[in-house]
A and B are shown apart, each in its own frame.
Chain A
Amino acid sequence: MSEHIVSPRVYVGVFLALMVGTGLTVFAATVDLGMWNTPVALVIAVAKAMLVVLYFMHVKYSSRLVGLAVGGAILWFVLLIAGVAMDYLSRNWVGTPGT
């Protein structure tokens, strides 16, 4: 794995994007988007996290083995949340007792 020097310009660009993303999150939270407020907040957060992982944490320039570890973390996290959410979040939809 050869060292990849990322230009400070890239870092500053990512930094600015993260700041804009933060402002956007706060703004989006003050607007009534109905059921979409939470998904929008999460999409912005995921985009910000991806910027940090790819550029600040150099995953974009790292080996596939490192990418596999990152993918593993995401996969198990999603399984954890989605597996349980399938139960709890769907209860309200069908009016199952116990909510």
Chain B
Amino acid sequence: MSSMAESAHGTEAHPDLVHHFESLPAQKEAATFGMWLFLVTEVLFFGGLFLAYTIYRNLYFHAFVQSSRHLDLTLGGVNTAVLICSSLTMAMGVHSAALNKRRATVVWLLLTVALGSVFLGIKAVEYKDKFDHHLVPGEHFQGEELHVVGDEVRQAQIFYSLYFAMTGLHATHMVIGIPIILIVAWMAHRGRFSPEYHTPVEMTGLYWHFVDIVWIFLFPLLYLIGRHH
């Protein structure tokens, strides 16, 4: 790649500038725009689930309230805080990379991975509780747990289907994000980045913050329905 850059830009060109871009800022702008286009598709990917949620919550509100109350508010709240902390550490990681602080970049990125792992661990505890209480949609779903009978048992299963689909898709994004952050941390450790070029750290940051935003909406929508009754 660097030899191609040399052929197009001369020998003084930055080694991370690929030949089809005029300059590093142009290259970075293309990467940022491309990443955002991907995130737009992600918004609509999750959008379908949010739409299904909106419709069924409106149709089966009481069953949704009863189902939501069984979710652990403390664990959900702590997880929200954990994820916000991980967004801060990620932002600090990008910041450190821009300032060429190699060690700080690695530390912040590893902290982000640690917090992301805590989130997934707490999520696993929550999932186990739903399995233990037979709240996984299907044959063995038990409406008594939620004090619902008749049609509302079916409706509560729609809530839990959406709960598992939405939090599951969200968690999948984190499971994908964690190894990406580890790779970027490794690259930072090897001194691959500079103030001029640390695009991989920034793009990973965009992805991670997006995952945080999804949770910012999931938390009140799933955990906080009808809590005041």
**Stretch of B12-20, B50-58, B114-122, B138-146 with 4 or more beta carbons under 8 angstroms from chain A:** B50-58
Q: Given A12-B88, A49-B213, A56–B29 Cβ distance below 8 Å?
A: no
Question: Is A80 part of the binding interface, using a Cβ–Cβ cutoff of 8 Å?
Answer: yes
Q: What's the count of A-B pairs with C-beta under 8 Å?
A: 135
**Looking at the complex, which one of A3, A48, A85 makes contact with B54 (CB distance below 8 Å)?**
A85
Interface assignment of B168: CB less than 8 Å from any CB of chain A: no
Q: A25-B224, A56-B87 are in contact. Are A5 and B58 (CB under 8 A)?
A: no
Instruction: Tell me which residues across on chain B come within 8 A of A5, comparing CB atoms.
Output: 95, 98-99
Closest beta carbon of chain B to A99's beta carbon, Å: 7
Interface-side segment among B38-46, B127-135, B154-162, B173-181? B38-46
- Tell me, rounded to whole Å, the shortest Cβ–Cβ distance linking B90 to chain A: 7
In the complex, chain A residues whose CB is within 8 Å of the CB of B32: 1, 62-63, 66
Query: Are A77 and B77 closer than 8 Å at their CB atoms?
Result: no
Can you name the residue of chain A whose Cβ is closest to the Cβ of B29? A1
Interchain CB contact (< 8 A) of A48 among B47, B48, B216: B216
Is A3's CB under 8 angstroms from B44's CB?
no
Query: Closest CB-CB distance, B203 to chain A, in whole Å?
Result: 11
Q: Is the interface of B mostly helix, strand, loop or mixed?
A: helix
State the CA gap A53–B36 with chains docked (Å). 11
Which chain A residues border B216 with CB–CB below 8 Å? 18, 45, 48-49, 52
0/1 per residue, A35-61, Cβ < 8 Å to B? 001000110110011001101111000
Chain A residues contacting B39 (CB-CB under 8 Å) are 69, 73
Residue in A6, A52, A89 whose CB lies within 8 Å of B58: A89
Q: How large is the interface on A (under 10, 10 to 19, 20 to 34, 35 or more residues)?
A: 35 or more
Looking at the assembled complex, report how far the CB atom of A68 sits from the nearest CB atom of chain B, in whole angstroms: 9
Interface residues on B, range: 35 or more
| Docked complex Cα distance between A14 and B58 (Å) | 33
Cβ contact within 8 Å between A63 and B29: yes
Q: In the bound complex, how far is the Cα of B85 from the Cα of A14, in angstroms?
A: 11
Asked if B84 is at the interface of the complex by the 8 Å CB criterion, the answer is: yes
Kindly state whether residue B25 has any CB partner on chain A within 8 Å: yes
- Closest residue of chain A to B40 (Cβ to Cβ) is A73
Q: Output the residue of A5, A45, A53 with the most chain B CB within 10 A.
A: A45
- Contact for A81 among B51, B59, B92, CB less than 8 A: B51
The reply on B28 being an interface residue by CB < 8 A is yes
Whole-angstrom distance between the Cβ of A49 and the nearest chain B Cβ: 5
For A45, what are the chain B residues with a Cβ–Cβ distance below 8 Å?
A: 216-217, 219-220
Interface centre among A12, A19, A56, by most B CB within 10 Å? Answer: A56
The chain A residues found within 8 Å of chain B, CB to CB, are 1-3, 5-6, 8, 11-12, 14-15, 18-19, 22, 25-26, 29-33, 37, 41-42, 44-45, 48-49, 52-53, 55-58, 62-63, 65-66, 69-70, 72-74, 76-77, 80-81, 84-85, 88-89, 92, 99
